[in-house]
């Protein structure tokens, strides 16, 4: 490679950089949290890789982050002795954004500072937050185990791309120098930096150090001093941990910007020993519906980070859960292959699922407003649950919320238990309708007879509802029945007079029915007199086992 190269940022990076600098200005202190968080991740990765290869430590296994400043040069330096990066890694990690859905996400940004700050928070701020306070950033790094003359220097002013250079770096790891903007030069200050570190990085299980100057008998000496608590938060006992500490730790592991909605912290003892700290975010990340998603549960073995892994420790329908699971039983050299079929992993997973469902159940009962917030963000994902997790189907079903003819609002607030408690005498089934919008569901002619009889119908209009009703056939012994499928037997709910009336209508319509049948011939399976409708002239009814019209419609759209 040439001595020094100039490269352009990927378009997405350029866009994001500018929006971030503009919209996160009022939260500028978070740059330090993000950079320390990255340093901690890098140390975690090194510790894990070094399990199988001790030489990576290069005789320095005392992992740490150092923060220094220079009030004359107006710089802040953040240094770690973690895994470091090679040239390719610098280009792909710092120069590009590989997350799917990024383009769509960027299009949602409005230029409105407050709205964008929320959106960027959902995206995760990360390394680029350095440019909120710096007009030039110099990153020098060397990957552990790589020769000293193969260090990499990356430098950028966020305007004209970045430069890359091969340099000699004595120590492994990454050093980032922030050249502060003129109006941010006040940050190069001992007291300010210490208080920002304590505020945002107290709980990180890695020492963050700053230099302390001591004056003794006319002699000045400097030494490194640990600023943060530097213990693994999840290993401390619950009653010692403040809510703020839980929240800051959440932000570190989740890369989220906002507070968590709730959490569950558990130490499991007995056959299996592990600690779990599981959080529910307050907002959905922008890529919740992308196939490949970032960050979920971090797996630790005896405080050693093993990997970020969503699949093996949380099912898809709980993919929004963030947190840490720290096992005392797994071997430290556990590999991805082992994780794929491992009894310990399986039981930690099912235990953790129970904790999350329990947390949701308690919230739904004790804090219904909080629960509604949760449902608005993640309800559509939870609806995947009954189809994915048979063993917890009933418990998940209890957590579901729907719109219904009872409330006549698009808000999904009605639980199946609510529904059952309002069932009419003689009513045996839970009735629902699926459509591709709430308005379509609400105005469906299929509902007429139900409205007339005062029977509640659940109005389902999320994409996932078809999948849900295909997998959830009953709840609390009551069958779920689509009002658009098969023969509706509402006869138990009819009065004798109703029945007389219906018989009469059927007799009178015989000729008409036969005429229609002759005309439509094999275009339809059957023509029947309907008692479903009260004001619409006719409607199409599907056979019990046909896919609902909506599903057919979807498949057609998808080109099937
Ligand atoms: P995230 O931390 O969410 O992955 P960032 O923008 O903070 O996103 O960082 C992007 C990537 O750059 C990281 O995933 C990591 O691979 C790399 N990186 C950043 N800082 C460091 C560091 N101090 N040491 C090693 N790699 C780093
Ligand atoms: Mg980061």
Shortest-distance ligand to the CA of residue 128 = 1
Alpha-carbon distance of 386 to 493, in angstroms, equals 30
Strand 322-327 relative to strand 274-281, pairing: antiparallel
Chain centroid, CA 31 distance in Å: 22
Residue ranges around ligand 1 (CB below 6 Å):
34, 38-39, 42, 80, 82-85, 93-94, 124, 126-127, 174, 255
For each of the chain's 560 residues, which pLDDT tens digit applies? 567 899 998 888 888 888 778 777 778 888 998 899 999 999 999 998 998 899 999 999 999 999 999 999 999 999 999 999 999 999 988 877 767 777 777 777 777 777 777 777 667 778 989 999 999 999 999 999 999 999 999 999 998 899 999 999 999 999 999 999 999 999 999 999 999 998 888 888 899 999 998 888 888 889 999 999 888 899 999 999 999 999 999 988 888 888 999 999 999 998 899 999 999 999 988 778 776 665 689 999 888 888 887 578 999 999 999 999 999 998 877 777 777 778 999 999 999 999 999 999 999 999 999 999 999 999 999 999 999 999 999 999 999 999 999 988 999 999 999 999 999 988 999 999 999 999 999 999 999 889 988 999 999 999 999 999 999 999 999 999 999 886 666 666 666 666 777 777 778 778 888 888 888 777 777 777 666 655 666 666 666 555 555 556 555 655 54
Q: Is 80 annotated as a binding residue?
A: yes
Q: What is the pTM of this model?
A: 0.77
**Measuring from atom 13 of ligand 1, which residue has the nearest CA?**
93
Q: What's the confidence (pLDDT) of residue 534?
A: 59
Concatenated DSSP letters for 337-384? HHHHT-HHHHHHHHHHHHHHHHHHHHHHHH-HHHHHHHHHHHHHHHTT
Least Cα distance to 531 among 442, 440, 444, 448 occurs for 448
**Measuring from atom 19 of ligand 1, which residue has the nearest CA?**
38
Q: Is 189 annotated as a binding residue?
A: no
For residue 376, the tally of other CB atoms under 10 A from its CB is: 14
Q: Is 387 annotated as a binding residue?
A: no
Distance 470 CA to ligand 1 centre (A): 42
Burial class (CB in 10 A: 0-12, 13-18, 19+), 508: exposed
For the record, the structure tokens of 300 come out as: 């630790």
The atom of ligand 1 lying closest to the CA of 82 is: 24
The secondary structure element, H or E, covering residue 212 is strand 208-216
**Residues, CB-to-ion distance under 5 Å, ligand 2:** 38, 126
Q: What's the confidence (pLDDT) of residue 287?
A: 79
Q: What's the confidence (pLDDT) of residue 554?
A: 56
The best mutation among 93, 125, 307 to test binding of ligand 1, ranked by most ligand atoms within 8 Å of the C-beta, falls on 93
Distance 41 CA to ligand 1 centre (A): 8
Alpha-carbon distance of 483 to 404, in angstroms, equals 13
258 Cβ contact list (under 8 Å, min separation 6)? 118, 121, 281, 282, 283
The secondary structure element, H or E, covering residue 122 is helix 113-123
For the record, the structure tokens of 484 come out as: 């658009």
Q: From residue 212, how far is each of 21, 66, 194, 201, 217 by CA, in Å?
A: 32, 12, 11, 19, 16
Contact of 482 with 434, CB cutoff 8 Å: yes
The atom of ligand 1 lying closest to the CA of 39 is: 23
Alpha-carbon distance of 135 to 180, in angstroms, equals 6
What are residue 362's phi and psi, to 5 degrees?
-65, -40
Q: Is 266 annotated as a binding residue?
A: no
Least Cα distance to 205 among 322, 300, 85, 68 occurs for 300
Alpha-carbon distance of 14 to 79, in angstroms, equals 25
**Measuring from atom 18 of ligand 1, which residue has the nearest CA?**
38
**Measuring from atom 16 of ligand 1, which residue has the nearest CA?**
93
132 Cβ contact list (under 8 Å, min separation 6)? 20, 21, 24, 25, 28, 30, 31
Q: Is 93 annotated as a binding residue?
A: yes
**Measuring from atom 10 of ligand 1, which residue has the nearest CA?**
93
Contact of 167 with 153, CB cutoff 8 Å: yes
Q: What b-and-e string marks burial along 7-24, b requiring 16 or more CB atoms within 10 Å of the CB?
A: eebeebbebbbebbbebb
Contact of 318 with 304, CB cutoff 8 Å: no
């Amino acid at each position: 490679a040439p001595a020094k190269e100039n490269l352009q940022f990927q378009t997405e990076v350029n866009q994001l950089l500018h929006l971030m600098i503009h919209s996160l200005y009022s939260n500028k202190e978070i740059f330090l949290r993000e950079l320390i968080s990255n340093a901690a991740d890098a140390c975690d990765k090194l510790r894990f890789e070094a399990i199988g290869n001790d030489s990576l430590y290069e005789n320095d296994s005392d992992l740490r982050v150092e923060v220094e400043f220079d009030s004359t040069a107006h710089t802040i330096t953040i240094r770690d002795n973690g895994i470091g990066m090679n040239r390719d890694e610098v280009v792909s990690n710092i120069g590009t954004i590989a997350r799917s859905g990024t383009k769509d996400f960027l299009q949602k940004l409005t230029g409105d500072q407050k709205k964008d700050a929320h959106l960027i928070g959902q995206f995760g701020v990360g390394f680029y937050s350095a440019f909120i306070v710096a007009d030039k950033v110099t990153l020098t790094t060397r990957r552990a185990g790589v020769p000293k003359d193969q260090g990499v220097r990356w430098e950028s002013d966020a305007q004209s791309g970045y430069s890359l250079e091969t340099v000699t770096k004595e120590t492994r790891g990454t050093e980032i120098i922030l050249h502060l903007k003129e109006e941010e030069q006040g940050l190069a200050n001992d007291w300010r930096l210490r208080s920002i570190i304590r505020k945002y990085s107290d709980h990180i299980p890695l020492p963050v150090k700053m230099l302390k100057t001591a004056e003794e008998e006319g002699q000045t000496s400097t030494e490194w001093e640990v600023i943060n608590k530097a213990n693994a938060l999840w290993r401390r006992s619950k009653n010692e941990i403040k809510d703020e500490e839980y929240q800051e730790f959440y932000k570190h592991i989740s890369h989220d910007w906002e507070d968590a909605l709730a959490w569950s912290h558990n130490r499991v003892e007995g056959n299996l020993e592990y600690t779990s700290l599981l959080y529910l975010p307050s907002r959905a990340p922008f890529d919740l519906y992308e196939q490949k998603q970032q960050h979920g549960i971090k797996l630790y073995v005896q405080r050693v980070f093993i990997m970020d892994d969503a699949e093996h420790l949380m099912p898809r329908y709980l993919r929004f859960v963030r947190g840490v699971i720290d096992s005392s039983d797994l071997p430290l050299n556990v590999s991805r292959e082992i994780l794929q079929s491992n009894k310990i992993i399986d039981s930690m997973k099912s235990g953790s699922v129970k904790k999350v469902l329990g947390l949701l159940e308690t919230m739904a009962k004790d804090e219904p407003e909080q629960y509604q917030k949760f449902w608005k963000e993640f309800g559509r994902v939870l609806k995947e649950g009954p189809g994915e997790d048979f063993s917890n189907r009933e418990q998940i079903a209890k957590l579901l919320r729907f719109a219904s003819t009872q409330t006549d609002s698009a808000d999904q607030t009605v639980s199946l238990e609510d529904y059952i408690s309002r069932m009419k005498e003689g009513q045996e089934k839970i009735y629902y309708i699926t459509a591709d919008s709430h308005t379509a569901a609400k105005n469906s002619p299929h509902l007429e007879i139900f409205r007339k009889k005062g029977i509640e119908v659940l109005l389902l209009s999320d994409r996932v509802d078809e999948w849900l009703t295909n997998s959830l056939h009953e709840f609390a012994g009551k069958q779920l029945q689509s009002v658009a499928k098969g023969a509706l037997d509402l006869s138990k709910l009819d009065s004798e007079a109703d029945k007389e009336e219906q018989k009469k209508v059927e007799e009178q319509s015989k000729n008409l029915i036969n005429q229609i049948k002759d005309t439509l011939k094999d275009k339809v399976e059957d023509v029947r007199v309907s008692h479903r409708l009260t004001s619409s002239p006719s409607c199409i009814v599907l056979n019990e086992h046909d896919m609902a019209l909506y599903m057919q419609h979807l498949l057609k759209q998808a080109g099937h």
